[in-house]
Amino acid sequence: MGNTNSGTYVRVFANDSVWMEDSAVEQLQTTARNLSAIRAAVGLPDLHPGRGYPVGAAFFSINHFYPALVGGDIGCGMQLLETDLASHKTSPSKIEKALGNIDSPLPEHSITPATYGQLEQLAQQAGDTDLRYLLSMLGTIGGGNHFAEWQAVDAIYEEGVLNKKQLYLLVHSGSRGLGGAILRQHVERFGHAGLVADSTAAKDYLDQHDAAIGFAQLNRQHIASRMLRAVRATGRCMLDVTHNHVGVHQWQGQQGYLHRKGATPSDQGLVVIPGSRGDFSYVVRPVASRHDALDSLAHGAGRKWARSDCKGRLKPRFTLAALQQTRFGSTVVCADKDLIYEEAPQAYKEVDGVVQTLLDCGLLHLVARLKPVLTYKKGAMACC
DNA sequence: ATGTTC
């Protein structure tokens, strides 16, 4: 599916194996039309409506870029670690007990001087942000679709990448409040008009943007390491990939800016496409140089239901306890009752359809399929 | 997404 809209390349990667809302496609087209510097817009199979702009999409612009298109969670991404825990030696209940309440701010004595130095540098680069603010968020998962999930290997498609016997840890989180603060500050001055490339304002934003990317990555590292420590395991980072960002990019021989809004890069090696908390996650090898897809893949399953619809639809059919277990026998730890409904597997597309669509389009090769053992969404200290 | 938002 593709069309040319007053010179703008707009394409949606979809087929019968994936649900896609018309309103999301409309949002993609409207965005491509209304933001005048945009030359190309791509919807991935996880495309779904967002606040003004769709999620699961990539946009290429020339001479101008749009911070509002990236949104508030600058630097949000996935980190996958191979742990030294053997899958068969553990269980959801053992991990849950060992983790305890692990989503509160890190105790200050556990912050190393090196981390402290990194935070000081990031706080300054982000625009004189309060260091204490960053410290209070470091190592916390956040809300929405963020999680840290212990996973077992369910299937191997390409040998020699994942180890069938090991447990893996997937961390999905972002820059927490920092990216939101940077966006708010930007929108107060410039609204949604975007910035002229190479202007002072553009350089200032990109500097802050990069600080948010750095903080998000540091945050994922700390989420992972505190969890590994709690279960007395170690981990090896296999990939850490950001799906909300903007940066210089080439497209059709022209230099411009690529915005990814819930879109995983396909030009940075292996990536993971997670399903919902009651579904598989796929480690995949992107096919390189698919510029027709703006070098991007789906970043997950994508929402099927609006958050506001979930509780009404699920409460009559499921108890909270039922939603804290999944069809795999995995456990979902989440102290926020509303969030359990909003993040229920029923609220998401089936990841198999999303991945099948990308396979059919020739955008990736499968490496492995992971299934959840325990998902940590939000601890009691982190909410209420 | 969110030191949410009164």
Å from A384 (CA) to B5 (C1')? 15
Task: Flag whether A179 is marked binding.
Answer: no
DSSP for A19-39, written as a single string: ---HHHHHHHHHHHHHSTTEE
Q: Decide: CB of A137 under 7 A of nucleic strand B.
A: yes
Residues of A annotated as catalytic are 299
- Protein-covered nucleotides of chain B (CB closer than 7 Å) are 1-4
Å from A262 (CA) to B1 (C1')? 12
Q: Decide: CB of A173 under 7 A of nucleic strand B.
A: yes
Q: Decide: CB of A67 under 7 A of nucleic strand B.
A: no
CATH fit for domain A2-378, picks 1.10.238.10, 3.30.70.1350, 3.90.1860.10, 1.10.357.10: 3.90.1860.10
Strand partners, A369: A155, A282
Query: Domain residues of chain A, as ranges?
Result: 2-378
Give yes or no for residue A186 having a pLDDT over 90.
yes
Q: Decide: CB of A48 under 7 A of nucleic strand B.
A: no
The nucleotide closest to A50 (CA, C1' atoms): B1
**pTM summary value:** 0.96
Which residue lies nearest B2, CA-to-C1' measured? A177
Quote the tokens at residue A79. Answer: 């980190």
Residue range A126-157, pLDDT digits in tens: 998 999 999 999 999 999 999 999 999 999 99
Residue range A315-357, pLDDT digits in tens: 999 999 999 999 999 999 999 999 999 999 999 999 999 999 9
Task: Flag whether A145 is marked binding.
Answer: yes
Closest CA relative to residue A158, chosen from A370, A364, A366, A360? A366
Which residue lies nearest B1, CA-to-C1' measured? A73
Tell me how many degrees the CA angle A262-A20-A61 measures, rounded to the nearest 5.
40
Closest CA relative to residue A201, chosen from A185, A178, A214, A180? A185
Residue range A200-252, pLDDT digits in tens: 999 999 999 999 999 999 999 999 999 999 999 999 999 999 999 999 999 99
